[in-house]
Amino acid sequence: MKGSRRGTIEKAPGIGDFRQAGAQPAAGWTTHEKDERLVPTHCCFCGVQCGMYLRVSTDGRVFGVEPRDHDINKMKLCPKGVTAYQQVNHPDRLTQPLMRSQRGEPLRPVSWDEALDRVVSEIRRIQETYGHDAFGVYSGSSMTTEKTYLVGKFARVALGTANVDYNGRLCMVSAGAGNKKAFNVDRAANPWSDMLLTDVILVAGANVAECFPVMTQYFWAARDRGAKLITVDPRETALARTADIHVGLRPGTDAAFFNGVLHVIERDGLIDERFIAERTVGWDEVRDVVADYTPERAGNICGLDPALIEKVARMWGEADKAMAFHARGIEHHIQGVGNVLTVIDLVLATGQIGAPGKGYGTITGQGNGQGGREHGQKCDQLPGQRSIDDPEARSYVAQVWGIDESELPQKGLTAVEIIHAAEAGDVKGLIGLCNNPLVSMPKGNRIRRGYDALEFHCQLDFFLSETAERADVVLPTTAWAEDEGVTTNAEGRIVKHNKATEPPEGVRTDWWVICEIARRLGRHADKFSFDSPRAIFEELRVASKGGFADYHGVTYERIEETGGIFWPCPSEDHPGTPRLFEDRFFHPDGKARFTAVKWIPPAEEPDEEFPMRLTTGRTVAHYLSGNQTRRIGALVEQAPRPWVEIHPSLGFANGDPVKVVTRRGEVTYPALVVSTIRPDTAFVPYHWASPAAANDLTVDDLDPTSKIPEFKVCACRLEQGAEVTVVPLPPVEPGKTPYSDEMGSTDDRRPPTAPQGRGTAR
């Protein structure tokens, strides 16, 4: 039954409209299924990877969701998780390959053969004309580990290109680089259940309540047991609202803050000298650097009261057990790796790692952000989190893949660099999958120029994204419920997504498409004869064996039996490793590395012309570039459009059209005026497309090590605008009416009630 507001009976006055119109799932509701199957699986969205059951009708249709008591989430779900199933039968789904013969022409449906032949002939032409590396692959981390493994293998073996990278480069890669440097392994050190054993939790740059809502229960459970909470964020988020200490620092000053905290801890003798001596290397240099970061100086840089820094230092330093978490807030900076290392320095100096209730971890953002970066789709890594520079790793992986080591390309360009290289004419062709850089990459205009300069661009997706819309060939692939495979959540726990339904007619799995292109290309075609995700996983287990992220002992069956296995898990009788570093760190000498970090200002500092700082982030109703969530009625209703969040002292009224101007562009947003943000900072959520895209405003300076863009701070100016910039509807293939049109709320001009969206009406 599909409700509507088309009633025409003569209405008496009263309160009528309660939220329901926009909240209808596109495929309608079913309440009369005779029998249903509950298929256990996990959410397709963030790195928490909540367990859930999909409700499947007798004729194999996914029609609902039921909570699942999985170890990770204990039945809890966020609004994205609850509505995730609505993607499966969505009318906007792509169901046939689309192609255009040249740019400017509309996309038209073609057969799989025609589309794949075109892809293959373009790859051949470009690689023959410009060299192997002129054809790149840009992948993503919201798909199963099997697929991400296959992408890396495909690029190196079938294409022979060095230029393969993935969208984790826009996500947590600074944390990965920092962890690698300090611990020689890139994984959160503890399971979240350790939070129940700790006394102090510090969260830096993570809007947990909105980006990982289900993780909040661990924080609350810890606090029920008496733990204290410290939050570090320029905005007083829903988690920060109740924190024991909230540090509302200036965006882009995290390293100075953590150096300041460590300064006080060192000054007051709260460091763990024994731990430092026995288990770490490099403390002296750090001590010398933090000596310069007195609370006064750090407070001055961060725009904080020095007393607050002292307070945080005392709470952390005096804690028996403490845990630190961080996310994109400190990672999306040109000093992203440095910021991460200052947190790690703090953890190491106080010995708060490698024991129950003592720990540290980044909160990975994407569904398979962890698994997706472990098995070789990063430009600098091979399966098992092995470095592509390591001769031993190269020869092992080459042997597993059955190729000569010399055929294995070296390190290639990173994500944003690939698109910039396209703009410069160095990369001529690209296969993109599981990403939407036209919304998600910084400085949107330049990214659009890069894509436009490509001679050939093929994109795989299950909805026509803003990026796919501009491609030469679009290949329709499966949604998460239509295929199986493993993912690894933010804790490092490997879980399995199960297949709940058959894909729509005309849709293929991503792995089939990749294998088919490889087969048609002919180069090592026999290395891509996989017939199932399981076959890929079996090879992955071998390829990761002996690496850092060792999956060798993990099987589909063991995952089903246990509810998830933490890597490293070298053999089938190994229980997995929930807590890392209890005995040793992953460096050859077993010790962790301190790194002294001097704070450097962001790439673009405010000046007279652009006096404010602009920061970007997520809102709870949407996920990444919004290609999925902007099509789900309930989520669109909760957050139909972006806004600019500003402090009341700036003189704008709530709902005013406020033009946000940077050196890259300008967008007019409705103002959400809140006293929970710093007066010198404006916030815009980034899930929407140009001309309303936050990334039309951001800078594209990169961290020199991790190559992560500085999404979290740039300089901007606010002006009274005239008209709020209208949000474009999510693209659909030519001839289709977008479902979002029916929802009718995309032309909404109002700001939300709160950062979390619009409250229920009346």
Partner 1 sequence: MKRRARPQGWLSDVDPTASAIGSTAAVLLTAAIYAGSRGLRNFDAALIGYATATIFLAFGVTYRYVVWVQSPPTRRYLVKGWKAFLSWRNFRRFPTLVPKAVVSNLAFQTFIKERGMGRWAAHQALFWGVVGATLITFPLTFGWIHFRSAAGTESHYEMYIFGIKTVTFDALSWLGWLTFRGLDITAVLVIAGCAYFLWRRFRDREAMTGQHLAHDLMPLIALVAISVTGLLLTFSSALLKGRYYDFLALLHMGTVVLTLVFIPFGKFFHVIQRPASIGVQIYKRTSLEDKGPFHCKRCGAAFETQTYVEDLEETMSELGLGFEGWAEHCPRCKRVERGIAYRAHVKEGF
Partner 2 sequence: MMNRTLFIDPGRCIGCQACVAACRECDSHRGRTMIHLDYVDEGNSAAAMPTVCMHCEDPVAPCAQVCPADAIPVGPDGIVHTAAKERCIGCENCVHACPFGVPKLDLTEMLQYKCDMCYDRTSRGLSTMCATVCPTGAIFYGSYEELLADRPHSRASDLFGFSDSLVQTGCAMVVPAGRESVSVPGGYV
The residue ranges that bind partner 1 (CB under 8 A) are 1, 3-4, 7-10, 12-15, 31-32, 34, 220, 223, 241-242, 759, 761-762
Stretch that binds partner 2, among 18-26, 311-319, 557-565, 602-610 (CB under 8 A): 18-26
Which of 43, 54, 77, 98 touches partner 2 by CB under 8 A? 77
Residue 102: other Cβ atoms inside 10 A: 6
- Of 16 and 522, nearer to partner 1 (C-beta) is 16
- What's the maximum distance between 2 C-alpha atoms anywhere in the chain? 81
Phi, psi of 476 (to 5 degrees): -80, 125
**Where does 475-549 have alpha helices with state H?**
510-521, 533-544
Of 67 and 506, CB closest to partner 2: 67
Residue 326, beta-bridge partner list:
204, 362
Cβ(197)–Cβ(411) under 8 Å? no
Phi, psi of 756 (to 5 degrees): -80, -5
CB of 225 to partner 2, least distance (A): 8
Asked if 654 interacts with partner 2 (CB under 8 A), we say yes
Residue 31 CB, shortest distance to partner 1, in Å, is 4
What is the Rg, in whole angstroms, of the alpha carbon atoms belonging to the chain? 25
Question: Least separation, in Å, of the C-beta of 659 and partner 2?
Answer: 21
Choose the one of partner 1, partner 2, none that binds residue 34, judging by a C-beta under 5 to 8 angstroms depending on kind. Answer: partner 1
CB of 753 to partner 1, least distance (A): 10
14 part of the interface to partner 2, by CB under 8 A: yes
Q: Select from partner 1, partner 2, none the partner in contact with residue 148, using the beta carbon and a kind-dependent cut-off of 5 to 8 Å.
A: none
Smallest gap from Cβ 483 to partner 1, in A, equals 29
**Residue of 161, 370, 668, 756 interacting with partner 2 (CB under 8 A):** 756
Smallest distance, partner 1 to C-beta of residue 59, A: 15
- Long-range CB contacts for residues 215-224, cutoff 8 Å, separation at least 24: 215/48, 215/363, 215/490, 217/73, 217/74, 217/76, 218/192, 218/193, 219/195, 221/195, 221/196, 222/195, 222/196, 222/198
> Which among 726, 731, 728 is positioned nearest to 750, based on CA atoms?
726
By CB under 8 A, residue 229 contacts partner 2 = no
The CA distance from 223 to 232, in Å, is: 17
Q: Closest CB to partner 2 among 245 and 400?
A: 245
* Residue choice 634, 682, 684, 689 for contact with partner 2 (CB under 8 A): 634
Tell me the two tokens of residue 601: 């200002």
| Total residues interacting with partner 2, rule: CB under 8 A | 68
Contact between 16 and partner 2 per CB under 8 A: yes
With respect to partner 2, which residue has the nearer C-beta, 8 or 102?
Answer: 8
Contacts from 598-601 at CB under 8 Å and sequence distance 24+? Answer: 598/255, 598/289, 598/338, 599/253, 599/255, 599/256, 599/259, 599/293, 599/301, 599/335, 599/338, 600/255, 600/334, 600/335, 600/338, 601/252
Residue 369 site contact among partner 2, partner 1, none (CB < 5 to 8 Å, cut-off depends on kind): none
Q: How far is CA 268 from CA 26, 262, 278, 311, in A?
A: 60, 10, 21, 12
Which of 95/760 has CB closer to partner 2? Answer: 760
**E-only strand ranges, 256-413:** 280-281, 322-326, 359-362, 381-382, 386-387
Identify whether the C-beta of residue 146 lies closer than 8 Å to the C-beta of residue 339: no
Q: How far is the CB of 364 from partner 2 (least distance, A)?
A: 17
Placement of tokens 């003592």 in the chain:
358
| By CB under 8 A, residue 195 contacts partner 2 | no
Stretch of residues binding partner 2 (CB under 8 A), selected from 7-15, 378-386, 601-609, 707-715: 7-15
* Inter-residue contact 135 to 127 (CB < 8 Å): yes
> To the nearest whole angstrom, how small is the minimum distance from the Cβ of residue 214 to partner 2?
4
Residues forming contacts to partner 2 in the complex (CB under 8 A) are: 1-7, 9, 11-12, 14-20, 23-25, 29-31, 64-65, 67, 75-79, 81-83, 209-210, 213-217, 220, 224, 236-242, 620-621, 634, 638, 648, 654, 673-676, 753-757, 759-760, 762
